[in-house]
Structures are given as C-alpha cells and as structure tokens.
Chain A
Amino acid sequence: MHTNVKVLLAKPGLDGHDRGAKVIAIALKEAGMEVIYMGLHQTLEAIVAAAVQEDVDIIGLSILSGGHIPICRRLMELLAEEGIDDIAVCVGGVIPKRDVPVLKEMGVKGIFPGGANLREMTETLKALAG
C-alpha cells in the first residue's frame, strides 16, 4: 500500500456549499494523506489539469447541487481523453440512492452521500490508492 496517498479535492461547478468538502479535507489530512484542496467554482478542465500536474492518486469531487451525474460523466470522459483514467474518482454530496449504480457504472470508484462515515471513507481511499 502507498504510504503517501495524494488526493485532489475540488468543488466543480457553481455550487458554493463547501462545509462537506472542507470536513473531508481535514479528515483525510488527519488520516495522514496529502490533500490538495482546489476550492470553489472549479471547471472540470482545471481539475484534470491539476490532477496531471500534481500526479494525484485520487480525485474527490464534492457536489451538492444535484448535478453529480452529468458532472461525473464529463470528468470521466476528460480523464480518458488525457489517458489518466487510472486516477480513482470519488464523489460526495447530496446523492440519492438511486444514482449510486449510475455513478458506479460510469467508473466512479467511491460514492459518499452526506453523513458517510469518515473512517470508512479514509479506508476506502487508501485502498483505492493502493
């Protein structure tokens, strides 16, 4: 297993509710991971560019507006175009249960609806970076 897991966290799109993203950033840091928090209003293109530049293991998106399906689909396409689809994509936020299989189907590796257990999340991320 990686000793130094590197995670890029960002909030794509226009939604500015970042309490969850910041809580995750702190939780992952507390678990010993390296976290790059890009902050609010990020474009997917900027996220992919940062992922390449920083050579991260995981991209974590926080989405609360309800737009997680189109946003994740587009991100997966961009990663494939860049040839970096070995980076594991995780998403957290307001995600209804019925959307979980849709996200899995498109290759999202970790799905964490609000209230997800922080310990389990850090374990999942460590395993994904494995």
Chain B
Amino acid sequence: MDVARYIKNEKDQIEDVILSSGIHVKPKYGPEDLEAVGFDYQKDLGEPGEFPFTRNLFAEGYRTREWTTRQYTGFGTPRETNERFRLMIDHGQTGLNVAFDLPTQMGLDSDHPLAWGEVGRVGMAVDSLRDFEVAFAGIDLHKVGAGLTINAVASIMLAMYQAVAEKLGFDRTKISATPQNDILKEVLGRGAWIYALEPAVKLIGDTIEYSMTTMPRTNPVSVCGYHIRESGATPAQEMAYAFLIANAYIDEVAKRGYEPEEFVGRFSFNFNIFGNLWEQVAKFRAGRKVWAHNLSDRYQVKNPKNLWLRGLFAGGGSGLTKAEPENNIMRGAFYGLAAALSGAQSTALCSFDEAFTIPTPRSALLSLRTLQILMDEVGMRDTVDPLAGSYFIETLTKQMEEKIWEEMREIEEQGGVIKAITNGYLPRKLAWQAYEFERDVQKGDLIKVGVNKYAEEEDADVDLHEYNEAWAEEKLADLVELKRTRDSAAVASSLKNLEAVARAGGNVMPALVESCKAYATVGEMSDVFRDVYGVFKEPSIF
C-alpha cells in the first residue's frame, strides 16, 4: 500500500521489500537486471527533453528553469487570503494555488443555510467577482499563474478569473489559470461533487473548448491522481486512473469535432508524493513515458510538446502524522527531494501542521523554504535526471511502467473508468485498500515513526491556525451590500441567458463570463446548473 512492506527474519534483517504498487525490491541490482526487463536506452528513456520524456520534459532540467512553487493557500475572506498570497510571493513563491472554502466548492453562497459554520473555514469564501477583485489585488497576473482548486464549479471560477483579470487590466490571452476541474476524481476522493456526472463532464469539455480559443495560456484541467492516492490507491493506480480520467475528458472534447492535438497540450496533472522515495521517482519517470505513449499511440498526437506530462507533483497529506507533528517537517523535505529527483515541473508541500488544520503563516513559509533550499543549497539544479542509469532505478522504472499499463487495462477491460466509478467498483476497491492500510499500520506491519515505532505517550503542543467566526459575518454583510448595489436587471438577464445556453447544450463559458461580470453570485450560477443538469447520486458501495 502506501509505504513499503518489510519482511524480516528473527534477527531483524530484511528479507524482502514489497513496494505499495506490489513490486519486490532486490537486495542488489546489476546489468543483468536491466537485461531481464529488456531495458533499451533510446526506447525507454531517450534524451532529456525528447520522446518519451522519461528523463525530463526539458533538455537541461532545472538548469534552464526552476520548478514553480505553489503552496495551497486560502482562508477566511478574500482580504485575509490576499494578504497571505502577497506574503508567499514576497518570500519568493512563484505561483499561486487557491484554496476555496467548502460552500464555494459546493456552489453555495455564504448565506446559504448549508454554509453555516463553514464560511472561510478551509479556504477563501467567494460569492462574486467582487471577492476575486480583492483576492487578486496587487498581483501581476501576467507573471503569476493561479491554480484554482475547485472542481464542480470550476467553469464558474474560470469565468470569474477571466472577468477579474480583465477588470484589473490584464490580457486574457496572457493570463494562466489552472482550475483543477476534475470531477471524476471528486467521486473517488475529496467528494466535492454536485451535478450528475454526464453534464459535469460536459462542463469540463466546455472549459477546455473555451480555453483553446479564448485563454490559450490557461490549463483548463488538472487531473488529480493526488486525491485518488489519498483515498487508498497505490502509486501505480494513482497514475493509471488519472490517465484514464484524462482520456475520458479528451474523448468528451474530441466528440465535438476537435483533434486531441489541438488541446491536450494544455492538460495538466496533480500527483502525490509520500512513502517510498524510489517508488515515487520511478512512478514519475514511468508516468511521463506512459502518458506520452498514451497520447501518441491512442490519439495520434504528434507535436512533442503536446505529449508532456505537465503538472504539480506535491507532498501528500496522507504521509503526515498527528503524533509528533514536527516530524512532518522532515517528511516534507524528503517528499520535496523526491519531487526534485523526479523532475517535478511545479511543486508544493503540505505544511507540518496540516495534519490538524490549515497552515499558519510560519508553517506555510517553512514549506516554501524547504523547497527553496532544495533548489539552491543541495544541488538539485545541477544536472537533469540525476538518478538515471542506476541499475535499480531503471529496473524499477520499467517495472512501474508495466504496473501502470496493467492497472489501466484492468479498468478498460471492464468498460472504462466512468463505468468503474459509477458502478461503485473503484470507490469500493479504494475503500478496501485504505482499510487494509490502516489495519496494517495498526498492526505495525507498515511502519510510521512516532506512531507505531518509537511512539511516545506525550502529545506535542503546536500553535495552530484559528478559525475566526467574524469572517463569516463579514462575508454575510458583503453579500447584503452586493445585492443592494448591483444591477439586478443585468444579473437576472445574464442568468436567464446562462440557463438558455445550458438547456440548449451550448458552451456555457461566454454566458458565465457575462454573469460573473454582472456580479451574479456563485450560488446563483450554480443553481442554474442544478436545475438544468440535476444532481449526482453517490454509488452505494457497502
């Protein structure tokens, strides 16, 4: 499962190591292992920056371009979040990754009864364009790209991002937004789904189609193996299921008459790092190759740049422990090291206190500094793909590639990923794997330091981020003010138009941009979709 399983003899010597993905590690590797897996330099690796990109997307790796640092940030009102954005940017962070509160993620305004107690709690509360104007004030949106961690209502947030950029004087062809926009993984993990699955996937198609022509630097979808792994998947399954989900989105757009070549180059991914270091590195190297082959073999994509596995490789929350929370600082450093050795293009870490709640400024900066130290102090920029040529790593990369293809085939043979999600097969499989992992940690079969080995009774005291109920009151007052001052007729007509377009099955993005610019609220826009599309019913898995 998540960390490797060690089979030991009575003298505590290791007799076997079984990685989460099921691969056995040998005590030593040599040229005969490369021969046994049929390793071929040109075919399996190629030069860095060349097909199949196993070694890196870029010929010289971090020499020509450092990774982008993108700590997940947002809480309270847009004002607090803007302050935190600027704090991170002032300390050298090069990208943003916006956290939204649960009501916003679920398409509910701050004054909705179900939003009670949740406004601004786990992310920033956004009701209208007015909030984005505050959140992004003073930030150069031509320079800093923004990840928008939102899915069910990602189309609304992408429209709002275009609206705010234009309002603040930026050119929509030069801004770079990366809405997460991956609804299929929300069903497997994270659970922030709203609409019935088929129209929800159609909405993703709309954002991809719209970005192609209107916001060419936008990455309209960030497919998340990350949360699938958090839900119990092995590293090989994390890659495999993310690729299958990405293929489902490609198919959605291709059926509208576009060639995958025209749009897959803007696809992006979000993957998870925790557990065994070697397995993570092999996973990403193999993953780049599998994705490039998937696109070239299945979809006849030819332009090498369109074959890139672009994305965020980020430290995983599941690796953190509540016991001895400062240990998570060290874990984060090793996850960052794994990201760098894997050639991550963009990265972030969970901060050490995130086993409890969202991070304080101190812990968020500590994560950023960890990533900066890796780039500037320990040699991660020196040479591209530094582990290449290791008998062990190359053997493992080949084995991991086989595993990823195997996991993809298993799902495709039963009718594809959407079917395996909606009929409960995948949710059930992941839940069982998560249960077995938890059971094995508790039995001590899987080791977590400070939890089931070297554990101490004493609980450490850490200063935690505190939720402030005044934020919700402030948001409610803002909403009253918004509804008093906006042009209600313009709001009503923009929403009417949105509904007409949605009912007719057209691309909703232009209508959403108009609604955002008229200061329609997130709740009003998402209610239109609720009415037109209906809501998702969770598959029963027990």
Binding site for B on A (CB under 8 A): 11, 13-19, 22-23, 25-27, 29, 35, 37, 39-41, 43, 65-67, 70-71, 94, 96-97, 113-115, 117-119
Contact = CB atoms under 8 A, between A and B. Distances in A.
19 contacts: A14-B108, A14-B114, A14-B118, A15-B122, A17-B191, A22-B435, A23-B438, A25-B431, A25-B542, A26-B431, A26-B432, A27-B439, A39-B540, A65-B118, A66-B357, A66-B467, A67-B118, A94-B357, A115-B323
Interface string B316-328: 0000011100000
Interface stretch (B56-64, B99-107, B414-422): B99-107
Contacts of B438: 23, 27, 118
Given A14-B106, A16-B191, A113-B322, A22 B117 contact: no
B453 to A, nearest CB: 14
A22 B186 contact: no
B258 interface: no
Contact of A119 (B116, B442, B467): B442
Contacts of A14: 102-103, 105-106, 108, 114-115, 118, 192
B230 interface: yes
A5 to B, nearest CB: 15
A16 B121 CA distance: 14
B114 to A, nearest CB: 6
Contacts of B541: 22, 37
Interface residues of chain A: helix, strand, loop or mixed (majority):
loop
A8 B114 CA distance: 21
Given A23-B434, A117-B442, A118-B439, A43 B191 contact: no
Interface in B525-542: 538, 540-542
B143 interface: no
B486 to A, nearest CB: 26
A115 B322 contact: yes
B193 interface: yes
Interface string B153-197: 000000000000000000000000000000000100111110000
A15 B117 contact: no
B356 interface: yes
Contact of B121 (A17, A29, A43, A66): A66
A46 B430 CA distance: 27
When A and B form their complex, which 4 residue pairs have the shortest distance between CB atoms, in order from nearest?
A: A16-B191, A14-B102, A22-B431, A26-B435
A65 B232 contact: no
Given A14-B114, A27-B435, A66-B121, A40 B191 contact: yes
Nearest to B106: A14
Nearest to B323: A115
Contact of B117 (A39, A40, A70, A96): A70
A96 B464 contact: yes
B231 A66 contact: no
Contacts of A26: 431-432, 435, 542
B191 A94 contact: no
Given A65-B122, A67-B118, A96 B356 contact: yes
A35 B431 CA distance: 15
Nearest to A11: B191
A32 B435 CA distance: 15
Given A71-B117, A96-B356, A113-B322, A19 B230 contact: yes
Contacts of A41: 106, 191
Contact of A19 (B232, B439, B442): B232
Contacts of B186: 16
Given A37-B542, A66-B121, A118-B442, A13 B114 contact: yes
Contacts of B122: 15, 65-66
Contacts of A94: 355-357
Nearest to A36: B542
Nearest to B441: A115
Given A14-B105, A115-B323, 14 more contacts: A14-B115, A14-B192, A15-B122, A17-B189, A18-B191, A19-B231, A25-B542, A26-B431, A27-B435, A65-B102, A65-B122, A70-B116, A97-B459, A118-B442
B447 interface: no
A113 B459 CA distance: 13
B442 A13 contact: no
A57 to B, nearest CB: 17
Interface in B354-377: 355-357
B144 interface: no
Nearest to A25: B542
A13 B542 contact: no
A18 B192 CA distance: 11
Nearest to B191: A16
Contacts of B431: 19, 22-23, 25-26
Contacts of B212: none
* Most interface-central of A11, A16, A17 (chain B CB within 10 A): A16
Given A94-B357, A115-B451, A65 B121 contact: yes
Interface string B217-257: 00000000000001110000000000000000000000000
B393 to A, nearest CB: 30
A88 to B, nearest CB: 21
A95 to B, nearest CB: 9
Contact of B542 (A16, A35, A65, A119): A35
Contacts of B323: 115
A68 to B, nearest CB: 10
